Structure 1
Amino acid sequence: MIITDLIAPIGELLGRQASKRPQALAFRDKDRAVSYGELADRTASIASHLQANGVGPGDRVAIHLPNSVDWVEACLGIVRAGAVAVPISFDATVDEIAYRIDDAQCVAVFAREQKRDVLRQASGSVAVMAFENGKGAAVVEDGAGPAPLDPLDIERPAFIVYTSGTTGRAKGVVLSLQSMLWVTAACWAPVAGLSADDYVLNSLPLYHSYALNLAVVSIVATGASEYLMESFSASRLAEVLAQEPITLLPGVPTVFHYMLERAKEEGRRTLSNVRICLSAGAVLPGPLNQEFENWFGVKLLDGYGITETSTMVTINAPSGGRFMGSCGLPLSGLATRIVDLDDRDVAPGGEGELIVRGPNVMLGYHNNPEATAAALRDGWYRTGDLARADRFGFLSITGRLKEIIIRGGQNIAPVEVEEAIFAHESVLDCAVVGIPHEFLGEVPVAFVIARQGTTLEETLIIEHCRSRLSSYKVPHSVHVVPEIPRTGSGKVQRFKLRQILER
């Protein structure tokens, strides 16, 4: 397939797959499966139902469902109706649901029948379109209706994906179908080799841009097949890998941490049919990347992306030179710069803010022109992420501007301290935050999880850090915890760690 053929309206992409391979598996979950022929028909029926009930072009329709075939059908049906899909976490609180429905001004929401009361509590005015668990949408059986609008304009808003909220209240990122499919054509298809021959296992939450892009839009564009896990579980993931001929496995670094730990406990060194693994959503530590590949003999490609760029900005290729700990090279056709506080490009090896310009950059923040103007300047999206690029162009993310810890006038990137802590053999996971200090302004504090069967003490980690870091970067204190709070995309929720200290 010509790469540019991947960028087309959803109706056209589905029609193409249904015409060529109507019986081929499109998506499967624990309850049911749908072929490409069935998926084309079912999403057309959902679109028709929405249109018949007054949902028009540009209207926002929420999705409050767990990872499932239902979720995919709802999403594609919304887009085929010319409306805008607004994914909401199935685990969201009433307040979180209410905020997103109100902020996006949703006119309807796809949900499980048992969630009606929750949705009424969140927003009594929104129309609820129910899916019966494991049986799909009843609206598919409603009979004939208007033909799906299937808009040809793929540059219009198609999705509003809410940011992870690691630094404040979530903002609705407006993305077009074109920007999402551009990532498919520039990254997943040519670099990861995603094609109709692949069977993908997805445990990523579909309400995040990483999964929406790779595990929904890119599957349909390439004609691949996919098994959808409702949520990540190391034991369940191992079961599916043993039962299904999975070839491609995306995840966040935490997924690969736990996969490796479980395999070591079992003495298992194979991943069956898996040809490649993909990591994004958070920084993948170099030691984990190397250990995973050495143990399983399967490439684990690290990449970097954010919601505002329709996911991917950089990725490591499976062949050629790679630098463990780097998130790779910018996608072909994408412009990146690393700039200082005066917007001057820094020299190779220097640290600065990563800014991006290209076809995958968001249309803006929904109903938030001030935030849009601050983030998009002269066509460049200000990521807020600190990065370095070596002389070959390989990028490494070193932290966030707002996460930088300033101790006595010296900047500390939490990621750098975390990398040092990860090198300790007894550490399974860790995160570092800055807390106020009477004399120094801020000091770093570490939270760590011990590997099974090991014991961690504060003095042990501090001495370990002293052997690897400048003295001002050594954690002021270390706390052993049972878990590190992360978003569904794997990012550390540092504000929750600070709350632990305030209790």
Structure 2
Amino acid sequence: MLNLSVLLEDSARKYPTKDAFIYGDTHLTYAQVNGAANQFANGLKATGIKPGDKVALSCLNVPYFPIAFYGILKAGGVVVPLSVLLKREEVVYHLADSDAKAYCCFLGAPGLPMLEEGFAAFGEVDGCEDFVVITAKTSDPSPIEGTSTMGALMEGQVVTTDTAATGADDTAVIVYTSGTTGRPKGAELSHSNLFLNAILSADLTGATTQDVTLTVLPMFHIFALTLQLNASLYRGMTNVLLARFDAEDVFGLMERHRVTIFAGVPTMYWGLLNYKGEQFDLKAIAANLKSCLSGGASLPVTVINEFKARFGIDILEGYGMSEGSPVVTFNQADVGRKAGSIGTPVWGVSVKVVDEAGREVPVGEKGEIVYKGHNVMKGYYNKPDATAESIVDGWLHSGDVGRMDEDGFFYVVDRTKDMIIRGGLNVYPREVEDVMLRHEAVSMVAVIGVPDEEYGEEIRACVVLKEGHDPAADDLISWTKERIAAYKYPRSVEFLAALPQSATGKILKKELRKG
């Protein structure tokens, strides 16, 4: 037997009075969070939720997320975390595709109509029987007549529960892929998948019970779910929650709570580097930080170097995906690190680079990254054909183009789907972006392929400029041409005020292609 909620239960026994979560002025101890999760589990069971039932969850980074998450697991349910940015039709798809029996939805925030979109979607899915509103205060009534609230389900329930005796290989969470190629697919992750990944994630950061982590990455995303939520509870850390990334808020919380561990995606580190305020003691903040992690997308070497110069700390880059629970490789203290690399395979995971026939390619050559180990998902929910295509002889095919150097360090070159084929020649946007980021005027850049009658695809750079710089597009093109092969440089440049991003901070190249 193994239930992922043991991460919370064990730390609640060891550190009952220690702060588990801080949100604004609210401090919740391990005992309080575990007790609330038990009450919610009891409430779910009272509504008819049984082991194996799917329960969808839409919630910002507030303490109700972990209470609901572990409460669902304690009841034996399968958590289906959903992006808070999904619109009505998208929610309908996820609820129906996952066979969700219940849907827990937070009120939302200004400009984020989660509840309206969520409830409208719920009404279109026959198999989803219960809609639970997560209100700002547990005592608040539901703003939608005829629906229950999280507080109402918890009211009158005891603070202990008989946690469901789930098996290690039972599904704990169904995480949906981003859907950049076709409709999203639900990766089934077992209790064992997530438990082992939480342990190795805590080890990667050298985390102890004395550490304070800041979670601004959305917990509905597998990166934060594993490396911050599950890992912090496993180690008995204190987790400071922030619902939305803002550089000033991040620095303020880092200073106030003496944050020691921070995880972000490249756009967040870019935001921190470009923050212009001067009201914080950045030296003190830097002195407290002992570990900064990056994932979700490739981190430009220029950002790594600039962050090290300003804060005196290395950003450790790793690689993972929803199907891998998520961590596959990481720059590890006991193995060594290389800037620009995604590191070496984590404990219990094997990685290699293969050609189209599945044969391992020589050191230094490009191919598809594949991996196998305890982190590999059970499969895509109700999609056996997609599962068989993705997992071959135990090896999960990532769809990412990479290479391995002579020291066994791996590098992501690009996503297969992002590769540009110009006149029959392969162009990897990441390589072009790395060159352009060295230009003094370029703050951010995304390189995409656009249709072209002569070459099939032509190369376009979408650029965000640094403040005070205004180069001509032709000058930027010429500068890049001097530093890269003739078939790789961009033939057009589009200047933008900002690049479109997902809820997790990934640059949405598909949106740029639409333009």
- TM-score tier, shorter chain, comes to over 0.9
Q: CA deviation at 1:26?
A: 0.7
18, 21, 30: which one aligns with 2:24: 30
Q: Is 2:445 the counterpart of 1:463?
A: no
Q: Is 2:437 the counterpart of 1:428?
A: no
Q: Is 2:118 the counterpart of 1:119?
A: yes
| Contact preservation (8 Å) 2:202, 2:227 | no
Distance 1:48 1:411, change over 3 A: same
Q: CA deviation at 1:71?
A: 0.9
- What SS class does the counterpart of residue 189 from structure 1 fall into? helix
Q: Matches of residues 361-372 of structure 1 in structure 2 within 5 Å?
A: 361-372=376-387
- Corresponding residue for 2:199? 185
Q: CA deviation at 1:312?
A: 1.1
Alignment-mate amino acid for residue 44 of structure 2: L
Q: Is 2:272 the counterpart of 1:259?
A: yes
89, 95, 104: which one aligns with 1:95: 89
**Which is further off, 97-106 or 113-122?**
113-122
What is the Cα-based RMSD across aligned positions, in Å? Answer: 2.0
Alignment-mate amino acid for residue 133 of structure 1: A
- What SS class does the counterpart of residue 154 from structure 1 fall into? coil
Distance 1:458 1:267, change over 3 A: farther
Q: Is 2:423 the counterpart of 1:445?
A: no
- Offset from partner CA, 1:328-387 (integer Å, 9 cap, x none): 111122111101112111111100000010000111111211111110111110000000
- What SS class does the counterpart of residue 35 from structure 2 fall into? helix
Q: CA deviation at 1:145?
A: 9.4
Q: Is 2:194 the counterpart of 1:194?
A: no
Unpaired segments ≥5 residues, structure 2: 109-113, 140-149
Distance 1:132 1:484, change over 3 A: same
Aligned partners of 1:55 and 1:67: how far apart in 2? 24
| Contact preservation (8 Å) 2:4, 2:195 | no
- What SS class does the counterpart of residue 370 from structure 2 fall into? strand
Q: CA deviation at 1:91?
A: 2.3
- What SS class does the counterpart of residue 49 from structure 1 fall into? helix
- What SS class does the counterpart of residue 430 from structure 2 fall into? helix
- Offset from partner CA, 1:116-136 (integer Å, 9 cap, x none): 543331121531222221448
Aligned partners of 2:397 and 2:44: how far apart in 1? 36
| Contact preservation (8 Å) 1:355, 1:382 | yes
Q: CA deviation at 1:320?
A: 5.9
Q: Is 2:45 the counterpart of 1:51?
A: yes
- Offset from partner CA, 1:127-151 (integer Å, 9 cap, x none): 1222221448312223349933332
Q: Matches of residues 28-427 of structure 1 in structure 2 within 5 Å?
A: 28-30=22-24, 32-112=26-106, 116-124=115-123, 125=126, 126=128, 127-135=130-138, 137-138=150-151, 139-144=153-158, 147-186=161-200, 188-262=201-275, 269-270=282-283, 271-272=285-286, 273-318=288-333, 321-427=336-442
Q: CA deviation at 1:278?
A: 0.5
| Contact preservation (8 Å) 2:267, 2:506 | no
| Contact preservation (8 Å) 1:357, 1:380 | yes
Aligned partners of 1:213 and 1:9: how far apart in 2? 15
Q: CA deviation at 1:433?
A: 0.9
Aligned partners of 1:195 and 1:450: how far apart in 2? 40
- What SS class does the counterpart of residue 190 from structure 1 fall into? helix
Q: Is 2:34 the counterpart of 1:20?
A: no
- What SS class does the counterpart of residue 191 from structure 1 fall into? helix
Alignment-mate amino acid for residue 381 of structure 1: L
| Contact preservation (8 Å) 2:177, 2:322 | yes
Alignment-mate amino acid for residue 128 of structure 1: F
Aligned partners of 2:258 and 2:391: how far apart in 1? 43
| Contact preservation (8 Å) 1:388, 1:398 | yes
- What SS class does the counterpart of residue 235 from structure 1 fall into? helix
| Contact preservation (8 Å) 1:27, 1:69 | yes
Distance 1:335 1:408, change over 3 A: same
Q: CA deviation at 1:112?
A: 2.9
Alignment-mate amino acid for residue 104 of structure 1: S
Alignment-mate amino acid for residue 475 of structure 2: L
Distance 1:327 1:440, change over 3 A: same
| Contact preservation (8 Å) 1:192, 1:276 | yes
How many pairs are equivalent?
493
| Contact preservation (8 Å) 1:210, 1:311 | yes
Distance 1:379 1:320, change over 3 A: closer
- What SS class does the counterpart of residue 275 from structure 2 fall into? helix
Aligned partners of 2:213 and 2:391: how far apart in 1? 34
Aligned partners of 1:265 and 1:344: how far apart in 2? 54
| Contact preservation (8 Å) 2:4, 2:172 | no
Aligned partners of 1:146 and 1:279: how far apart in 2? 37
Runs of 4+ in 1 over 4 A off after TM superposition: 113-117, 263-269
Aligned partners of 2:30 and 2:159: how far apart in 1? 21
- Corresponding residue for 2:144? none
Over the matched positions of the two proteins, sequence identity in percent amounts to: 33
Q: CA deviation at 1:23?
A: 0.5
Q: Is 2:4 the counterpart of 1:10?
A: yes
Aligned partners of 2:195 and 2:226: how far apart in 1? 8
- Normalization by structure 2: what TM-score? 0.91
- Normalization by structure 1: what TM-score? 0.93
- Offset from partner CA, 1:184-209 (integer Å, 9 cap, x none): 222x2222112211110011011111
